[in-house]
Every structure is written in C-alpha cells, then in structure tokens.
Structure 1
Amino acid sequence: MKSIGRILRLAAPYKGLTVLNMLFNLIQVLAGLFTLTLVAPLLDVMFGNNKEVVKPKNINVNGFDFDAVYNKFITWLTEFIQEDKPKALLVICGILIVATIIKNIARYLALYFLVILRNKSIQNIRSKLYDKILSLPLSFFTNERKGDLMSRMSNDVKELEWSLMTTLDAIFKEPVTILFYVGSLIFMSPQLTLFVVILLPVAAGVIGILGRSLKRKSKKNQEAQGALLTFLEESLGGMRIIKAFVAEKIFSNKFSVINETSTKANIRVNHRGDLASPVSETLGIVVAAVVLWFGGNMVFNGELLPSVFIAYFAIFSQVIPPFKQLSNAFPMIQRGIAGMDRYEEVLNADVRIYEKADAKSISDLQNEIEFRNVSFAYGMETVINDVSFKIGKGKKVALVGASGSGKSTLADLLPRFYDLQQGEILIDNVNIKEFKLDDLRGLMGIVAQESILFNDTIASNIAFGVAGATQEKIEAAAKMANAYDFIMQAENGFKTNIGERGSKLSGGQRQRIAIARALLKDPQILILDEATSALDNESEKLVQQALDNLRQGRTILVIAHRLSTVRDADEIIVLEQGNIMERGTHNQLIALQGYYSKLYNMSISHA
C-alpha cells in the first residue's frame, strides 16, 4: 500500500478531479446495482407460482431496519405488478433503460475526468523532472548517460501514466464496486456469500505474488531500454566518425547485443504480466463454480428461492470483472512503481551546487578575480592541484597546456558549474559561493570549443538568454563576430532555421554564431574555451579584432591549443596535469625556453 500511495501522490494537486471521478464511479455502480436487485422480485412475481417473495433475515444497522425498507419496496412492487402486468412490464423496461442511461453517462463522465486527471498529472511529472534536470550540476551528467535520462523522460513516464490510471481505478472504482455488490450478496444470502468473502482474497494474494515478481523484472527492463537509447543517441551523434572509420559493422554488432538484451528483458516482463489475466480468470471461475454448486444445493433443499439465486448469481457475476480488473491492475502498478523508482532517483538527486539563503547580489566586477589554492577532482582523479593566480579587471589571461591538463576544468569552476574541493575562487575578495548563482553567471559570457546551438532561427540562437534583444543589437553582434555576411546570404537571413545542433551550418559558422551570442550578452567576463579553433585564418583574424575591441573594461579568460591566438594575453598560465608549470607573458615564456616554448614551437611547426 505504501508503494501505491507513492503513485497516488502524483495526483494530489488535482483533488477536485479525483473527487469528481469517484462521484461518477459511485453513481455508475449504484445504477448498475439497482437494475440487478430488481431481478429476484420480478422473476418471482411475474413467472413464479408464489405471490410472495422469501424475505431475508432481519438486518439492523445503528437502528436502521434494512429488512423493513426492503419489504415495503417489494410489497409495493408486487401490488403494482399484480394490478396490470403489461403496464408494469413496460414501466420496468423504462426504468431499466433510464438506469442504464444514467449508468453510462456516469461512466463516461468518470472516464472524462480521469483522462484530464491522468494527463495533468503526467504533465506535472514531466515538468518536475525536466526542471530538476535543468537544476542539476554538470557533474551529474558526466555520470548519467543521456540516453538513460531520455528513457526516464519517455518510457518511465509512460509507465507511470498508465500505472496512475490503473491505480486510480484499482483504488477508487473497483473496490467500491466490489464493496457494494458484495454488500448486496450478503443481504441476499449471508451463508452463500461467506465463500465469496473467503475465496476472493486468496485469489488476490496469488495475483499479488505475481505482481512483486513483475516489479523486479520491470526495473531491469526499463534499465535495458535506457541503455538502448543511450547507444542510439551516441551512434547518431557520432555518425561522421563511424563512417570515417568504416565502423558500421562494429556498431551494428554492438547494437545487436544491446537490442537482444533489451528484447529479452521486455519478453520476460510481458510473459510475467500476461500470466495475471489467465490466472485471475481461472481463479474467478473456480470461485463462481463453488458458488454455483453450493447455491444450487441450497435451492434443491428449499433454503433459497430459484429467483433469488438467479438474482444472486447475476450480481455475483458482476463482482468477477472488477475483481479481475483489480487483479490485472497489480502487474501494471508494479511496472509503474519500477518507473517511479527511476523517476525519483533523478528527482532526489543531490543538487550539490547550493546557493546560500542569504546569498549576495553582484552586478559588476570591480577589481579582480582570484583563484586561491584551488584543487579539484572528478571522483578519485585529481585534475587541478593547488592552483593560484589572479585576473585583473580588463585583463586577458590565457590558460594553455596539453589536452587533459585542466584548462577547461578551471574555466568551469569560475561560473560554479562544479564546486571545488579545496581552496576558493574570489571576485573582489569575496568567495563566489557567497553570490547568487544567477547573478554570478550573469556576469559571464561563454564560448566553448564545441558550439552548442539549438534547433531554431539564427536570430533566436544569437539572442539566446538575452531578454528583449532588438534586431539591431543582434545584427551588431553578428557583425562583430564576422557572421553577418554569411547570415545575409542564407535563404531567410536571420530567420533561417539552423537545424538540430546547428547541423545546417559549417563548423566555422557555428563557432561565429556562438561568439555573437556571447557578444550580445555584453558580459563583463568572457570565457573563451578554444573559441577560435574552428575558424579559418581570415575569420579568426576578424574575430580576434572584434574580441580586442571588446576587451575594454572587460576580463577575458582564454583556453586554447592554438597558441598564436593568445600571444597578446596579459598573462599566460601554463598547465600540466593540473599544476602550474610556468607563467608570464608570451615573450617572457619564450625567453625561458621551457615547456611553453616547446608547445609554441610545436604549434608553429604544425601550422
């Protein structure tokens, strides 16, 4: 029940819809029950030899005499029928039609509100999950596979959707139906109903055992689906490399293995789930056979009128479908609970990048940025080791070094994409952890080596994150980034859609759009992570001119392998395996004839 409660909490924001669904389900049940309770007296009076109906034993609850009410109704019905049977039959047929119409209107309205409830709840689930994903630090995405996250957003949420609908039926509709129908059976024959009350819970227990097994298999299946999506996402993203290395066969074989694992997991889940329906139907027939045998003997012995037994069995037959639905619901609920576990794993993930309750605002850089004894590790692997340096306002500082030396990690620490383990980073002598995250990141513009663009127009990509950007400012930023000419040559100019991740643009064009985006933000601090590495020589020269114009009053942190782009830096920090090897201006480092000089000469020879 605790697990079911977890799923029901998803519908908690929509209590009004839940109440309406329950109300119309109740009306549906009562209307259906009303028509069936007429069977015994009608059969007995219209077609039986007796003119009286055998009365049940007196039932008195808190002073309310059910027996008296029932007998008054039967007496009135008997007299009405005896006066004019054809007219009575017509009236009864009309009552049955009206009751059926009421039942089905209530059924439709119950489903109507259930569909709204289900979809609103799932909308809320997706929004919460997506907002949580956006709030997580970059460290989370280095550990979690993108395909697995996509699976949680799609497959697991879909399982939750159907599980929620099934749970609402299993909790609010089917039990109410069974309760009212079994109550009527007790009223008609307590002795016969004893078998129903004993046998149905036993059958439900058997179904519960199947459900628990299904939950374990469902979780493994959903994990396998996540692995499949991850591999597919990687394949699509790396299609150029796959073809360049003629690796189609290798990836096809890998996909076959993962696909086979996913298929087997899915088959196991479906086989176990498919057991629920035949098992529940078999158990239902066993219970029905016991009732038929025992009730038939009661009729033979004169303990129960045939008409009452027919009515009893008609009502009992209506208990079987909701019981079967309830039994079948448990496997679906268990699959949903497995999806709920995976959903909550993300929802409960530690944000880690915390903002203090009394965090300070910051709107500009006054003096300097300082990295003071900074150390950082990815898990057990240290990538930054006791690094200290300062970046004065309006200065250009470059971080250089071989791949894996820690350059990009240092840049990621400044906007708090990660939090360092030792040391501190200060802006104007205040630890950056003291500032509001939005304010801190609002000071910075970032251009990465891999240009991240979105499936939208060129104008929207340049104006990304800048509220109220005018067309004039967008065009000015494009000109400064040397992007204006190729944009105007596009079919729709700035309104041209660039495709997923900017697939309709060349690498250099994507890079310049990303630079224009950073320029439009007009940040006080620019982080250029190998920002010009994708440009041709002419474009690089023009972009460098634009960046030089932008330097006035701003701080620039550059990370590059092409050392020719950082010769004009006010200071160059040379990193190797997370440690500072050398520091100084370009000329000073060349004069040292050390590690930087070696890197520079290598870059010149390759050029």
Structure 2
Amino acid sequence: MNKKTSKKTKQGLSRLLEIAGTKRWWLIGSVVLAIGSTVAQFVPYVTIMNILNELAAHAAHPEDISRELVKHWGIICLIAFGCYGMLMFISLMFSHIAAFNILYELRVALTWKMAKLPLGFFTKRTTGDLKKIIGEDVERVELFVAHHIPDLTSAIVFPLLIIGWLFTIDWRLSLIMLAVMLIAIVFQFSTTWSKKATEDTKSYMTIMGKLNASIIEYVRGMQVVKIFNHSSIALENLKKQIFGFRDFSNAITTNYAVTYLGFYNMLSATLLFIIPAAIYFLLKAPSYSNYISTVLIFLILGGGIFFPMHKLLWMTNMLRQNTIGVDLIDKILQKEEITDPDEPQTPRDASIEFANVSFAYDKIQVLNNVSFTVPPGTVTALVGVSGAGKSTIAMLTARFWDIEDGEIRIGGSNIKQIRTEDLMNIVSFVFQDNMLFFDTIEENIRMGNKTATKDNVIAAAKAAQCHDFIMQLEKGYDTLVGEGGTYLSGGEAQRVALARAILKDAPIILLDEATAYADPENEGKILDSFSQLIKGKTVMVIAHRLSTIRNAEQILVIDKGTVAELGKHDELIALGGLYKNMWDIYSRSREWKLNR
C-alpha cells in the first residue's frame, strides 16, 4: 500500500476544509461573516438593556426619560438588524459557493477514483451502497457546508457572547444560567459525541446502505418477480431490511430518550432556576429600580437561550453524520488503485498462464496453488460446482484483483506489467449479469468498438443471434434500453452483451455461462456462430451446461479452489473422477421428462 493510501486523514470541520481545496477560503470567509452576523444579532440585546436601564431609572417620573437616548439605541438596534441580514446573506453565499465546488470536486474525484479501482471492487459493493455514498453522503456534505456551517458558527458564538456579557451584568445569575447550560451540554455530549453515539450513527449509515440496496434490487427484479409469482419471497428481504430499520430506530429512541429529554428539559426549565434567584437578589438589591432591568434581561435571555442551544444539538448531530459520511467517501478515495508499471510489457501472444496462484478475499481463501496454461487460439472450459472458484479465475485473468502469491501471465508477461488500458484491449468478457446503459441498442453494442460502422454493429449482432429480435422492435437499433436491460429479456440482454464482445474483437475472450439465458434453439445458434468467430482467439469459458464444451481443447475441473482434473472430455470421462460424475448427473438431467 502506498503512502497516499495509508495516510491518516483529518476529520470533522478540518477535513471539510481539506476537501474544499482551493475554495477553502470561501468556507473560512463564510465562517468569519457568520461570526460578524452573530455579533450583529447580539447587539440588539445590548440596546434593549440600555433602554431598560433608562426606563427603570425614571420609572417614577416618566417625563424625565431621555427620548434622544432611547432613539439613539433604537437606531443602533435597527442598524444591527440590517448588518445581521446582510452579513448572513453574504456568509450563506460564500458557503454555497464552497459547497457546490466541494460537491463537484468530490463527485469528480469519486468518479475518477472508481475508474482506477480494480474491477473486483464493484463485484463486492452493491449498487445501492455506492449510490448512497456518491448521492446521499456527498449531497449531505453539500447541504451541511451550504446551510449548516453558518448556522453552526452562530449556534456556538451566540451563547458564548450572551454568557460573557451577562457575567459583566450579574455574575451570580450568570453562574446559575451557565450551570444549567453545562448540565444540558453533558446530556448533549452523551447523545451526540460519545463513542456509543458515534457507533450508533455508523450502524445507521450501514443499515441505510443495505435498505437502499434492497429497494433497488426489489424494483429492478419486479418483472421477474411478477412473472414467476414470487412476490412474497422477493419481498421478504426488503421487509427484513425495513423492519430492521424500524427496530433500530425504536432501539435508538429508547436508548437516548433519557439523555435527549434531559437536555431538552434542562434548557426549557432555565427560568425555573433563574426566577427564584432573581427575585431573591431583587429583594436584596440596594436599588429596586436599578436592578429590575437586570432581572428583565436575564428573564428574556434565560428563556431565549434554549433556541441557539437546541440548534447547536441539531447542528452537532448533523456534523457527526456528515463526518461519518465523509469517512465512507474517504474509504473509497483511499482505496489502493490498480497501478500501471513504469516499464510496461507487451504480450507476445494471447496465451494465458496461471503459475502457483493463490488468492484470498476478506481473509477467505478462494484459490489454492492453481497452475495451468491456455495455449493461444484454444478454448479452455472451467467446470465445477458453484463456489469452487471458476468465476474468480476468469476475473483474475482480467485483473479484477491483484494476487499476492503466484503469477498470472498473458503472452509471457505478468499482467501486473501490462498497462491497464492495454489489458482491457486484449480481453473481452461476457458474464451472466450484463450491464446495458440507458442508450440505443446500437450504441450499447458499439461500446465494444467506438470506431465501428453501422454495418460492423449489425454483423456483430447477427453473429450473436440478436439481429432478428432487434429488427422486430419499433425503432430497431435506435431502441432505447434501460440499465440492466429494462425493455429486454435476460436472454436478449445477454446476446446484446455478446455482440458487444464480438465487435470488440479482442484476442482473449472470457465467457461466464454466456448462454445462460438463451433458449435451446438460440443457444445452438449462438454457439454455432460464435465458433466461427473465435478462430485464432484464446477463449476461457465457464460452463454449467457440459454439452456446450465437449469439444474444448482442454477442460479444467475446479474443486474447492484447486484444479482437481485437467484434460479433454474423453480423457476426463475415462479417468472416472469428478468430471465423469458431473457428466453422468448432467446426462440424467437431460433425459428427465415429465410423466403423467
């Protein structure tokens, strides 16, 4: 892992400043202006205090009240209100500029980063999880910076100004108010910044990611669910996630009920502590008229301190969620990239060689000391039970992950010594789950070769046996398809993906049950057409239908992450091992028929 990957990152507001990059000064300017607006917001209380002093001093003789003095402080109050509005507006403008730049830069950084990550990263992350990070978590950063940074600044500065000023008026009542605030802050800390609260927030983000993934999976699979009348089964996982979120929310509500209500009630009851003390000090004061204004200002601010403190609780809670969201973003940004070699090599041919390859994912051993060679221009089939490691071998060939033990070579060159772009040009793959973009069928096929002509696209489609059904569509090759093939069946989508791979014309082709969704008739057509197109190419095919790979130059029987058997069909049958057992089971399944 490189230094950049292992570097300890900042957190909280300091991390936001770091993310802001060249626009951090907009964010700092927003904070400074927010402080200025808070001071302007505080000034009217000073003017009210001075007016109250003047009124109290001449309560017995109202005619002696200085109208000029009252007018003077009134004008200052109006000016302060104007400054508050202007400074807060500019502060919000600055914060929005910083926020939109952060939003843009974060999404660009994530997009570029994901383009450089190993393909295996995407096989282990759900669409809903990544959508939440790129969409919701990044959006939460923008929302926090744009709106909450000025509010958080105000929520911190305003109570400090109030308490500091009140201490200059009456330290005894100020101590009472401060004690109430500190007790409330203790409750707030246990609700917001304690270790348990942080862990609960992380759990919340994880549950939301799973819920997003379940919703996307349920909506995408609705057509299949309806066709096979499995609505209740498909709904179970979604219900499980929804009820899990409900139970988590109920548990959180129960766990924090006492601390949150303690915070809320302490601030709400500030006057219950101030009023008795104020009455006592008023009765003991040398001058009733001089002290009454002090009592009034404490009553005004004692009740009003609740709102900025409550805002502070909400803001700090948002900051914690934002910090955890940024941490999830950082985990992607700090992922180790697939690096290109300083001195790249060019494969001499399209041969594939695994030399003592072992591979583990998340500490689970997947492959153990796998060795085999695929000569150029030959077809090698991988067979075995589900979970044996067949797909992992195909993915490692395309460098979905980097291995620690052994070597994978293409044309005699270690794939780590081949540039990623060159490797992707050498290899084409068609897996069971195929991604079709919201674009025309023609453009989905042309992704295999951007320079291909319309005739080339049609030729590839014919080879993949999808030209006929495309021409039956209202707009033919100009028909729009959605993500995952919204308007196409599974078999049709797979044939479009196969046409894309055929058009790419790469020397190495990896097929993971490429005919899985095809009916028997089209399966034969695809295989017949494909056999003409793969001449001279190196093909590695993962097959469950053993009849499709009888003529392969070599068959690898994968069992528990190892190559248990290797040879041609007849050789493996004669061996009488795992492959023969699989063939016998497969043959019996083909002979099965429904009897009345």
Aligned length: 573
Deviation of 1:15 after TM superposition, in Å, equals 1.7
| 1:439 corresponds to 2:433 | no
**Distance across 2 between alignment mates of 1:289 and 1:119:** 47
Q: What secondary structure is seen at the aligned counterpart in 2 of 1:373?
A: strand
Residues 374-385 of structure 1: matches in 2 within 5 Å? 374-377=357-360, 383-385=366-368
Q: Does 1:210 align with 2:195?
A: no
Deviation sequence 1:394-415 (CA, Å, 0-9, x none): 3333334454444322212211
Range with greater deviation from structure 2 (147-156 or 454-463)? 147-156
Deviation of 1:322 after TM superposition, in Å, equals: 2.3
SS in 1 for 2:510: strand
Aligned partners of 2:382 and 2:557 also within 8 Å: yes
8 Å CA contact retained: 1:276, 1:328: no
Deviation at 1:444, TM superposition (A): 0.6
SS of the residue 1:175 aligns to: helix
**Mapped partners of 2:467, 2:229: distance in 1:** 37
Structure 1: where are the runs of 5+ without partners?
52-78
Are 2:427 and 2:510, in contact at CA under 8 Å, matched by a contact in 1? yes
Q: Which residue of 1 aligns with 2:87?
A: 106
SS at match of 1:500: coil
Q: Residues 297-319 of structure 1: CA distance to partner in whole angstroms, max 9, x if unpaired?
A: 46554694544654566566665
Structural RMSD (CA): 4.4
TM-score by length of 1: 0.77
Do 1:166 and 1:332's aligned partners in 2 also have CA atoms closer than 8 Å?
Answer: no
What is the aligned counterpart of 1:21 among 23, 30, 48? Answer: 30
Counterpart in the other structure of 1:59: none
Measure the CA separation in 2 of the matches of 1:176 and 1:250: 54
Secondary structure of 2:484's aligned partner? helix
Q: 1:160 to 1:270 in 2, by over 3 A?
A: farther
SS at match of 1:502: coil
Amino acid at match of 1:25: A
Amino acid at match of 1:260: F
Matched residue of 2:437: which SS? coil
Which residue pairs with 2:45 in the alignment? 36
Shift of 1:265: 1.8
In structure 2, C-alpha distance between the alignment counterparts of 1:4 and 1:326, rounded to whole Å: 22
Secondary structure of 2:31 counterpart: helix
* Shift of residue 249, structure 1, vs aligned partner: 4.6
Once residues 385 and 571 of structure 1 are traced to their aligned partners in structure 2, the CA distance between those partners, rounded to angstroms, is 20
Q: Distance in 2 between matches of 1:291 and 1:110?
A: 39
CA–CA distance in 2 between the matches of 1:377 and 1:319? 57
Q: CA deviation at 1:512?
A: 1.5
Q: Contact (CA 8 Å) 1:407, 1:559: kept in 2 or not?
A: yes
Q: Distance in 2 between matches of 1:248 and 1:384?
A: 37
Distance 2:325 2:279 in 1: 44
Kindly provide the amino acid, as one letter, of the partner of residue 279 in structure 1: N
1:9 is aligned to 2:29: no
Distance 1:314 1:340 in 2: 39
What are the equivalent positions in structure 2 for 1:203-352 lying under 5 Å apart? 203-211=184-192, 212=194, 214-236=197-219, 248-249=231-232, 256=239, 258-270=241-253, 272=256, 275=261, 278-286=264-272, 288-289=274-275, 292-293=278-279, 296-297=282-283, 299=285, 301=287, 304-307=290-293, 310=296, 314=300, 319-337=305-323, 339=325, 351=336
Output the CA distance in 2 between the equivalents of 1:315 and 1:386. 74
Give the 5 Å matches for 1:157-196.
Answer: 168-169=149-150, 172-189=153-170, 192-196=173-177
User: How far, CA to CA, are the matches of 1:92 and 1:7 in structure 2?
Assistant: 38
Residue 532 of structure 1: SS of its match in structure 2?
coil
CA distance in 1, matches of 2:313, 2:9: 16
- Residue identity matched to 1:28: S
What amino acid is aligned across from residue 282 of structure 2 in structure 1? G
Deviation at 1:339, TM superposition (A): 4.9
- Tell me how far apart the structure 1 counterparts of residues 51 and 383 of structure 2 sit (CA, whole Å): 95
Deviation at 1:372, TM superposition (A): 1.9
Given the superposition, is the C-alpha separation of residues 223 and 287 from structure 1 closer, same or farther in structure 2, using an over 3 Å criterion?
farther
**Which residue of structure 2 aligns with residue 534 of structure 1?**
517
Q: Measured at CA, do residues 327 and 573 of structure 1 come closer, stay the same or move farther in structure 2, by a change above 3 Å?
A: closer
Aligned CA distance change for structure 1 residues 439 and 279 (closer, same or farther; 3 Å): farther
Structure 1 33/434 Cα, relative in aligned 2: closer, same or farther at 3 Å? same
Partner deviation per Cα, 1:20-57 (whole Å, 9 max, x = no partner): 32233233223233333233444555774399xxxxxx
Asked if the contact 1:37–1:311 (Cα under 8 Å) also holds between the matched residues in 2, the reply is no
Q: CA deviation at 1:446?
A: 0.4
Give, in whole Å, the separation in 2 of the partners of 1:130 and 1:37: 52
Which position in structure 2 is the counterpart of 1:497?
480
- Tell me the CA shift for residue 422 of structure 1: 3.6
CA distance in structure 1 between the aligned counterparts of 2:104 and 2:450, rounded to whole angstroms: 26
Shift in alpha-carbon separation, 1:32–1:365, aligned structure 2, 3 A: same
Larger radius of gyration: 1
Corresponding residue for 2:412? 429
Contact 2:380 2:541 in 1 (8 A): yes
Greater mean alpha carbon deviation, residues 413-422 or residues 378-387 = 378-387
Identity %: 29
Q: Structure 2 CA distance, aligned partners of 1:384 and 1:119? A: 46
Equivalents in 1 of 2:88, 2:550: separation in Å?
77
Specify the code of the residue in structure 2 equivalent to 1:206. F
Q: Which of 561, 570, 573 is the aligned partner of 2:544? A: 561
Matched, 1:399 2:405: no
SS in 1 for 2:356: strand
Q: Work out the CA distance in 1 between the residues paired with 2:106 and 2:443.
A: 28
- How far off its partner does 1:174 sit? 2.3
Instruction: Name the TM-score, length of structure 2 as normaliser.
Output: 0.78
Task: Give yes or no for contact 1:221–1:269 (8 Å, CA) kept in 2.
Answer: no
Equivalent of 2:498 in 503, 515, 518: 515
For residues 28 and 380 of structure 1, what CA distance do their matches in structure 2 show?
54
The answer for the alignment partner of 1:70 in structure 2 is none
CA positional deviation for 1:278: 2.4
User: How far does the alpha carbon of each residue in 1:450-485 deviate from its partner, in whole angstroms, 9 at most, with x for none?
Assistant: 333234321332233755655454334323323233
**In the aligned structure 2, how far is the partner of 1:415 from the partner of 1:517?**
17
- Give, as a single letter, the amino acid of the residue that structure 2 aligns with 1:460: E
Q: What residue is the counterpart of 1:387 in the other structure?
A: 370
Work out whether residues 432 and 513 of structure 2, in 8 Å CA contact, stay in contact via their aligned partners in 1.
yes
* Equivalent AA in structure 1 for residue 246 of structure 2: T
Aligned to 2:594: none
8 Å CA contact 1:162–1:332 kept in 2: the answer is: no
Matched residue SS, 2:393:
helix
Q: 2:42 touches 2:158 (CA, 8 Å); kept in 1? A: no
Give the 3 Å change call, closer, same or farther, for CA 342–369 of structure 1 in structure 2.
closer
Contact 1:447–1:518 under 8 Å retained in 2: yes
Residue 458 of structure 2 is matched in structure 1 by 475
AA of the residue aligned to 1:526: I
Distance 1:326 1:382 in 2: 49
Query: What CA deviation, in whole Å up to 9, does each residue of 1:220-252 have, x standing for no partner?
Result: 444444444444455456557766776555565
The 1:284/1:132 distance shift into structure 2, 3 A limit, reads farther
Specify every segment of 5 or more residues in structure 2 that has no aligned partner in the other structure, as ranges.
Answer: 1-7, 592-596
Describe the shift of the 1:565–1:258 C-alpha distance in structure 2 as closer, same or farther (beyond 3 A): closer
Task: Give the Cα–Cα distance (whole angstroms) in 1 for the partners of residues 405 and 184 of structure 2.
Answer: 61
Cα 1:276/1:230, change in 2 over 3 Å: farther
Alpha carbons 2:271, 2:299 under 8 Å: kept: no
**Closer, same or farther in 2 for the Cα pair 1:133/1:528, shift >3 Å?**
same
